[in-house]
Structure 1
């Protein structure tokens, strides 16, 4: 591979820099307008000064930002007042991500985010905010070449050789099933309620009192229609959010590289080496269990820059019986059949129910003390907690597949199955309280690397001898 000359970002980045800087300077002007030595300056002149400074700083920032795709590493020079040079060897790159807004498509541009092994919080991100697609492709090839070494041994492969390419693109039916079976309705409804409280502060009090009085004298049918309307609106918003986010989702595996791409208004791609995969997670909400659907994610050794998710989604929705036949094409060390899970004993399940109900009783007691007249509604909380605890207990278990630990957890009507290679486990512990010791129960907690932190997988209320058995398996 030949060395590429020193380059600058695409000139279109000047528009982004200018708008961002202009907003910042407008805010500064708004803050300092009340100072005696500033308030005498006419507002048009003050805003013109802000625009001039924003233009100057934008051009300076553009000119001082350079990067060089070298033979062994990527070098980035940036900084306006404080110059910074970042040197990133290709073998230290954990993942390559791109973000592509719709206005960048006609120019063939992308924003490239480089996640490194030395990442610490957001400071470990190296970014090329606007470059040609050829730059991304060159970085991708150099990362793949630098990381070339034997693949992670697989448990078994679905078909063919481990190096065989595989590709999948979500269709309209699967995307609709994924969006319609999401449990994202609850946060949307909370957002609507929060929005109502903010709007109610702006509405004149007489109008609000009239509206409340009208509702109080309305028929129950009208109230039911209002609640139903809120649920329908929340469902539509949740549905649209997921449709926009996962529009055109594709996953491709080429040799040891795994690439996902998604998004309607902003296309996002994540490219990672299979060696960076620390664990595989199969998630099912109670609704998706009913329809026999599952979501497959991977835990990576780097932190995704996308704030919406902490794990890389490899397959948004898939039939449960296809997880172990289709996914090994993309993740070659997955088993080709459903792992056998040993459930925790009834004694452990009972403790999960007891804990859930005990926590739910705390707000019930407060409700009774503060508003005794309406405290009857609070009794719904322990009833819901009882079902939550029962669900968690029934869907908690543990198992082994060759050199891979299989841990299943149930929480908030969602079942999560995590498959961790033994060599990826960073630590294993057996927490046990004095009350658990009396009945011979214990937790088993294993930690794997997840970005610059750790992900802890805990199987609760196992028989002590079972927990020790798995602990010794890890130590062996």
Structure 2
């Protein structure tokens, strides 16, 4: 494959992104310098020339063994990414790119340093390039020339069904059998009804209500409009106030439903040849393709509303530089937006049989002590913080707010302690940790091999009187690591988990 320039639309995107930065720089220049029109013309011409040269110097190509990208004007850079080192491939296609068979991709290598150091971004390239790259990623031994022949034939026929063309070419005995998408090993699609309930049970609705309500309160300080309106409404009926709040919540719910459908429309999870593909989006269709071996852990999340309704969201920890691509959760990409807990492990077992058991895992504390201890800790901390705050700002409503936060904190701690626990499944191969934070229950499945380190700790009180211990597990995520803590476990249980971890190595 010969070196290729990016599509012209990538140049326009580059101008738009860099132009925003230049705009604020020009505003700063105007504030401190008095420039004439021809000064601005020279600056604009110089910037446009630089952007054009930068775009022209950026080229990419595929070889038999690696993806190559060159860039830079004064300082040239050559970036080589072998196909075996590719961790994940992120695909993104806006609706206006689809008629031209174009898309954007980001290829992760999963090393230390983040996106800038370990990721190759190719904005606006033909989709056939991504297809060839995925084939080489899944099977680096496959020859490049037959793949390019399939692309050439399909493009001549004005078709983009490259998988079908590759399957037909298998008759030449030059390629191994490849299934087309409809013959995937496993496939799961999320319905509109699931997305609807996902939006209704999203915790950010209450936060949005608080933000908007606070903004309107500050606005009322200036115009006193709502104060006069409330006086008139109170003189008529309290029913109107209730109707206004209901209408306000309705608008927020509609907004979240629209947002969720735009982000997750057509959500599908597909597994084929040991690789998983997540696809979603209405106006911008996004795809994330990764090998099953890149999964560090699976996390089943339930906020308080979904916990009561028996619903859950499934998320992943991946070795990746771009898991923040998920706008809804910027740390853990979504594997399944919403599913009933009773079906969750069964569906996960179909896609990840080596990580998730087929039967539901039930974890319950041995007593109420963890719940009481965590509620006690939360209340004590909030009492201290509230006391310090009230010493500076003592009002009737601040006292009410402090009491409310203390009560909520106590319940949150009690809920966390009531679901905390750990167990070992899959014949001793997988550790399951369960805890909660801010009324969100989290159940994490992870293999011993994906644990970076494990710590068992005790306070003096726990060691001599309660025979309890805290278990802390460090797992790699993005280009760093994260800690998963399970507190107040019975000491024999914590030691058994630690012993199993040592035995695995």
State the Cα distance separating 1:51 from its structure 2 match.
Answer: 4.1
Q: Secondary structure at the match of 1:12?
A: helix
After TM superposition, the structure 1 = structure 2 runs for residues 66-81 of structure 1, keeping only pairs within 5 Å, are 66-81=59-74
Match of 2:492 among 458, 465, 472: 465
Aligned to 1:184: 204
After TM superposition, the structure 1 = structure 2 runs for residues 332-347 of structure 1, keeping only pairs within 5 Å, are 332-333=353-354, 334-347=356-369
For the 8 Å contact 1:344–1:396, the answer to whether it is kept is: no
Aligned to 1:241: 259
Aligned to 1:275: 293
Aligned to 2:171: none
Aligned to 2:100: 107
For the 8 Å contact 1:252–1:259, the answer to whether it is kept is: yes
Match of 1:348 among 370, 375, 386: 370
After TM superposition, the structure 1 = structure 2 runs for residues 10-159 of structure 1, keeping only pairs within 5 Å, are 10-35=7-32, 38-39=34-35, 41-42=36-37, 45-123=38-116, 124-146=118-140
Q: 1:373 to 1:180 in 2, by over 3 A?
A: closer
After TM superposition, the structure 1 = structure 2 runs for residues 202-217 of structure 1, keeping only pairs within 5 Å, are 205=222, 208-215=223-230
Q: Secondary structure at the match of 1:146?
A: coil
Q: Structure 2: how far apart are the matches of 1:381 and 1:25?
A: 45
1:329 aligns with 2:350: yes
Aligned to 1:399: 423
State the Cα distance separating 1:178 from its structure 2 match.
Answer: 1.7
Aligned to 2:3: 6
For the 8 Å contact 2:301–2:314, the answer to whether it is kept is: yes
Q: CA RMSD in A?
A: 2.4
Aligned to 1:447: 474
State the Cα distance separating 1:320 from its structure 2 match.
Answer: 1.6
State the Cα distance separating 1:33 from its structure 2 match.
Answer: 2.6
State the Cα distance separating 1:293 from its structure 2 match.
Answer: 1.6
State the Cα distance separating 1:222 from its structure 2 match.
Answer: 4.7
Q: Secondary structure at the match of 1:310?
A: coil
Q: Structure 2: how far apart are the matches of 1:147 and 1:328?
A: 30
For the 8 Å contact 2:275–2:292, the answer to whether it is kept is: yes
For the 8 Å contact 1:345–1:462, the answer to whether it is kept is: no
Q: Structure 2: how far apart are the matches of 1:84 and 1:198?
A: 51
For the 8 Å contact 2:326–2:334, the answer to whether it is kept is: no
Q: Secondary structure at the match of 1:423?
A: helix
After TM superposition, the structure 1 = structure 2 runs for residues 163-178 of structure 1, keeping only pairs within 5 Å, are 165-178=185-198
Per mean C-alpha deviation after superposition, the further-off stretch among 325-334 and 371-380 is 371-380
Aligned to 1:306: 325
Q: 1:427 to 1:377 in 2, by over 3 A?
A: closer
State the Cα distance separating 1:259 from its structure 2 match.
Answer: 0.4
Q: Structure 2: how far apart are the matches of 1:131 and 1:313?
A: 26
Q: 1:413 to 1:25 in 2, by over 3 A?
A: closer
Q: TM-score of the superposition, structure 1-length normalised?
A: 0.87
State the Cα distance separating 1:113 from its structure 2 match.
Answer: 0.5
For the 8 Å contact 1:13–1:129, the answer to whether it is kept is: yes
Q: Structure 1: how far apart are the matches of 2:129 and 2:276?
A: 19
For the 8 Å contact 2:195–2:257, the answer to whether it is kept is: no
State the Cα distance separating 1:341 from its structure 2 match.
Answer: 2.0
Q: Structure 1: how far apart are the matches of 2:347 and 2:199?
A: 21
1:319 aligns with 2:313: no
1:387 aligns with 2:408: no
Aligned to 2:164: none
Q: 1:241 to 1:50 in 2, by over 3 A?
A: farther
For the 8 Å contact 1:188–1:238, the answer to whether it is kept is: no
Q: 1:188 to 1:300 in 2, by over 3 A?
A: same
For the 8 Å contact 2:108–2:320, the answer to whether it is kept is: yes
Count residues with an aligned counterpart: 450
Q: 1:21 to 1:442 in 2, by over 3 A?
A: closer
State the Cα distance separating 1:46 from its structure 2 match.
Answer: 4.9
Per mean C-alpha deviation after superposition, the further-off stretch among 249-258 and 116-125 is 116-125
For the 8 Å contact 1:342–1:399, the answer to whether it is kept is: no
In the TM superposition, structure 1's runs of 4+ consecutive aligned residues that sit over 6 Å from their partners are none
Q: 1:383 to 1:198 in 2, by over 3 A?
A: closer
State the Cα distance separating 1:327 from its structure 2 match.
Answer: 2.1
1:360 aligns with 2:388: no
CA offsets, 1:417-475, max 9 Å, x none? Answer: 11111222111110212232232111111122112111222111011122111111110
State the Cα distance separating 1:180 from its structure 2 match.
Answer: 1.7
Q: Structure 2: where are the runs of 5+ without partners?
A: 143-182
Q: Structure 1: how far apart are the matches of 2:364 and 2:390?
A: 41
For the 8 Å contact 1:442–1:460, the answer to whether it is kept is: yes
Q: Structure 2: how far apart are the matches of 1:415 and 1:361?
A: 25
Q: Structure 2: how far apart are the matches of 1:367 and 1:19?
A: 46
Q: Secondary structure at the match of 2:484?
A: strand
